[in-house]
Structure 1
């Protein structure tokens, strides 16, 4: 089974692809930037991340329970802001910050 999530953060196109047999992959502007082959995801562990330069670091946290969902955060200067969630709707202010 393959699941793909696509979203934009600070002008960058982000794509996260998860498959049962090849794990999870993080693409930034079409380039593979990180991958994880773990079979299971536990808790609030950042499994993939990529540096977006001055904008900060994008961090991907999978949420698993019968299916896999993801949350993405933009971290900069010890502050972490949610920029995408495949299960929870972000507030308008959070959506504006990620643009």
Structure 2
């Protein structure tokens, strides 16, 4: 996803397996599961699906991150829903920690 406007010059990548699970901003790990990564139509605020015509090349999207429910942030939740579970050598960082100072 190539940034525009205030985000011009930035690139975000999102890896998904049914849901958006891991993101990178300018090549660096960014928001990851268990926190939520959602793509929206910026004109309507409708959520976009990873399947079908929702995400065609050139479409403008907004990417938002949402804090995961507390259940997924417990030790057991973090055993089964982090980037490592999906084979990525990325340590989970809570979204509110990532967003501090932005």
* TM-score normalised by structure 2 residue count: 0.32
* TM-score normalised by structure 1 residue count: 0.32
Q: Which one scores higher on RCO, CA 8 angstroms, separation ≥ 6?
A: 2
Q: Which has the higher helix share?
A: 2
Q: Which has the higher strand share?
A: 1
